[in-house]
Structure 1
Amino acid sequence: MILFLAIAISIYTAMHCLVFWGIHPLLAGHRYLAAAALLWMLLMIIAPITVRLLDTGGSPQAARLLALTGFTWMGLLFLACSMFAVIGIVELFSRLLLLTIPGLPRLPLHGPLIATAVLLMTLATGVYGYGEAKNIGVVKIPISTDKLPAGTELLRVAQISDLHLGLLNRGSFLEPVIARLKELKPDLLVATGDVVDAQINHLDGLSTMWQEIQPPLGKFAVLGNHEVYAGLKQSLDFLQRSGFIVLRNTGLTVDGVVRLVGIDDEQIWNNAVHENAILQAQPLELFTIFLKHRPTVSGDGAQLFDLQLSGHAHRGQIFPFNFLTGLKYPRQDGLYRLSPGSQLYVSRGTGTWGPPMRVLSPPEITLFEIRRSNSVI
């Protein structure tokens, strides 16, 4: 954990340095303004850690205010950093080109006009991203199978993922999610991890809101990495009070209609449990849904389920970070055919982690309409 924090802080500091380089033309000749910018950036670098210390130290209101400020800044920084990185690369190539071909005109990329344009674009994109994060859409996925039992022509399964309920995402965030689920009236609700965030002690009353959703076949969940950060005991307690049955490296048949198998996030079991062994222990005659937080498929595991539901990657949450998350999780958004009769669906997530914004990665609730083959419904 210490190594992870050191790497994260180093990367975050480097991003601040890049943005400071980008805005430096606006600060040239303004010593006090430059000093204020550096001080602000220093405070923002340590803000995520300070939020955690304030929260655990019994100052929730201060923690929430700093979290809103610090994580909003983080989102804006990501956007500005992406733009200044492109400018920096072009500037570097321009200088290298000038060394090899003297006399070429130099592109005036690193100047006050470009810096101002980047800041304005950053603010505009941030406002758009805040709105996008609030606009939770419904993605409907039709699936046909011959594994539904006679008499069951249609099974409607709703998936939520990565809500990150906690210090920032609270009742006002959860209300529209609950309302949309009520409208969809699924037969079954599944949550594929990170329902809670690291700040677990802000969930009072939210478990009661979940009680408003009572699908006929129940509510099921698996644990993600943020349930670990929040504390397993507290996370499990919240999920169970919310009415979710938590599947921990096990499977069960739901009302003779569908088979559910769920596995803990690798952050918990640290590769000590092999998911294929868990899947192999399950009967395959019914349609099998495999709940796994991270969108990875283990070896020949695709032969052992009909549909895997995952989340975790958020599709980067803020463009262009989807390219970075795509390096680790090539399948990070949408439906993927793994083998004949086996598919993986990766949700972009319903909530947000950190910055309360999304850019070109809209949040979703997913509704799977699983129809029996040859059904006329």
Structure 2
Amino acid sequence: MATARPEAAAPSAPDAGAPGERERARGSLVRRLAVPLLALLVLCVPPWWTLFASGAEWPLPVFLAGTVVLAAWLVSFPFLMVAGHGPRRSDRAARVADTSLGVVWVLFTWSVLGGLVNLVLTGFDIGGADRARTVAVAVAAVSAGLLAWGHYEAMRVPRVKRLDVHLPRLGAGLDGTRVVVLADTHYGPIDRAKWSARVTEAVNALDADVVVHAGDIADGTPSQRLEQSAPLGTVRSRLAKVYVTGNHEYSGEAQGWLDRMAELGWEPLHNRHVVVERGGDTLVLAGVDDVTAESSGLAGHRANLLGALAGTDPGQPVLLVAHQPKFVPQAAAAGIDLQVSGHTHGGQIWPFNFLVRIDQPVVSGLSRHGERTQLYTSRGTGFWGPPFRVFAPSEITLLTLRPGNGPASV
């Protein structure tokens, strides 16, 4: 009987560790929740302080109303995001979440700036007793004006940005080749089927030789965004229409979007290339999957430049389509002539462009990398999430290819 006790106790050893495992799991969950909640709190505090609590001495109902509205957003926003962008994909919840996030971001930015102005004015004893209230009203007015203007900028048909790009290896027969670039259309919770049709009309008016879609076509699946993407089937080009996946496709059926674009008459450059000819000279149009493709776990999806260039003539000029600008080191190492990218949106809502610069080598425009490679980064045709563009206008880009080493001209 005495020897039976240790043997009976042995099976309980794993159970002894179970509470520790549960505690570690709970701790990990708390940390994962704490970071976004802390970020939301940081976004809410400056608007609350500058607009309501910094000495403006609003009547009590105004103070309480402002506090309740910000607190209600802080509590409800995570649930709206999960409902809108999680497995349920409720477009209504996504619209509310995205729009409110844009509003709070603009209020946060200008409340911080307003708070700094208030401190400076206080230091110089300027403004008297009404100083805080004047700053609060100014912040609210500037934010409201920027949000109205930013919404108009997001929803309008993008203006055309025209640029000559000189490629030394380009043959004379390809001089003047017109490449129209779309990127980041982000068809999503706000139905923009009519906008999509107007964008298509603007593209067709440019009489392109090549049309490129540089990824992030939509937020959602092809079946969800069927009507919004349909106008892309009417895009016209003389030589080719090519498309690559962006990071957002990998949360909404990337292979389905490749199939959908093929159905609409585009060439999906899924780590492959096509060769176009004009005036007796040739140009390689190559494309790679987004850099996030491999981590998606989708079989056969990863950014594979060697595969995209397999079988090409090393002497031919290459235009590479890669969604993110940060793919350019690989492009430069391979001697690519021109990489076309999107992804950054030019920051979309100032001053987010400074944060984008931490992750990407370029936010917008034409840049040079290494001895041969140039990179054009589009600010994007649509918008992601918040339906606002502040100091980062959308664009449809017309790149006119020129041989030789001449400077680029806007």
Q: 1:146-188 CA distances to partner (integer Å, 9 max, x unpaired)?
A: 5344644331111100000122152022122101101001111
Q: How high is the TM-score relative to the length of structure 1?
A: 0.83
Match of 2:23 in 1: none
Q: Distance in 1 between matches of 2:95 and 2:366?
A: 33
Of stretches 232-241 and 86-95 in structure 1, the one that deviates more from structure 2 is 86-95
Q: Distance in 1 between matches of 2:233 and 2:328?
A: 34
- Relative to 1, partners in 2 of residues 1:279 and 1:173: Cα closer, same or farther, differing over 3 Å? same
User: Over aligned residues, Cα RMSD in angstroms?
Assistant: 3.3
Residue among 245, 248, 264 paired with 2:270 = 248
Q: Distance in 2 between matches of 1:39 and 1:152?
A: 58
Amino acid at match of 2:213: A
Q: Which secondary structure does the structure 1 equivalent of 2:326 belong to?
A: coil
Q: How high is the TM-score relative to the length of structure 2?
A: 0.77
Does residue 1:365 correspond to 2:396, yes or no? yes
The residue correspondences of 1:249-328 to structure 2 (distance < 5 A) are 249-255=271-277, 257-270=282-295, 275=304, 277-278=306-307, 281=310, 282-299=312-329, 301-303=331-333, 304-328=335-359
Q: What is the aligned residue count?
A: 361
Which entry has the higher C-alpha Rg, 1 or 2? 2
User: Unpaired segments of 5 or more residues in structure 1?
Assistant: 99-103
Q: Distance in 2 between matches of 1:5 and 1:183?
A: 49
Does residue 1:120 correspond to 2:151, yes or no? no
Q: Is the 8 A contact 2:182 2:397 kept in 1?
A: yes
Match of 1:345 in 2: 376
How many angstroms does 1:141 deviate by?
Answer: 1.4
- Relative to 1, partners in 2 of residues 1:263 and 1:70: Cα closer, same or farther, differing over 3 Å? same
Match of 2:109 in 1: 82
Amino acid at match of 1:164: H
Q: Is the 8 A contact 2:336 2:373 kept in 1?
A: yes
How many angstroms does 1:87 deviate by?
Answer: 3.8
Match of 1:72 in 2: 99
Match of 1:48 in 2: 81
Does residue 1:215 correspond to 2:237, yes or no? yes
Q: Distance in 2 between matches of 1:6 and 1:347?
A: 35
Q: 1:328-361 CA distances to partner (integer Å, 9 max, x unpaired)?
A: 2231110002234321000000000011111111
Does residue 1:12 correspond to 2:40, yes or no? yes
Does residue 1:168 correspond to 2:186, yes or no? no
Q: 1:79-134 CA distances to partner (integer Å, 9 max, x unpaired)?
A: 11011223445667899xx8xxxxx8598798333222211111111111112221
Q: Is the 8 A contact 2:182 2:214 kept in 1?
A: yes
How many angstroms does 1:248 deviate by?
Answer: 1.8
How many angstroms does 1:216 deviate by?
Answer: 2.0
Q: Is the 8 A contact 2:365 2:377 kept in 1?
A: yes
User: Unpaired segments of 5 or more residues in structure 2?
Assistant: 1-28, 406-410
- Relative to 1, partners in 2 of residues 1:158 and 1:4: Cα closer, same or farther, differing over 3 Å? farther
Does residue 1:132 correspond to 2:153, yes or no? yes
Match of 1:21 in 2: 49
- Relative to 1, partners in 2 of residues 1:289 and 1:21: Cα closer, same or farther, differing over 3 Å? same
Match of 1:156 in 2: 178
- Relative to 1, partners in 2 of residues 1:144 and 1:128: Cα closer, same or farther, differing over 3 Å? same
- Relative to 1, partners in 2 of residues 1:152 and 1:233: Cα closer, same or farther, differing over 3 Å? closer
Q: Distance in 2 between matches of 1:177 and 1:84?
A: 35
Of stretches 133-142 and 275-284 in structure 1, the one that deviates more from structure 2 is 275-284
Q: Distance in 2 between matches of 1:324 and 1:137?
A: 25
Q: Which secondary structure does the structure 2 equivalent of 1:335 belong to?
A: strand
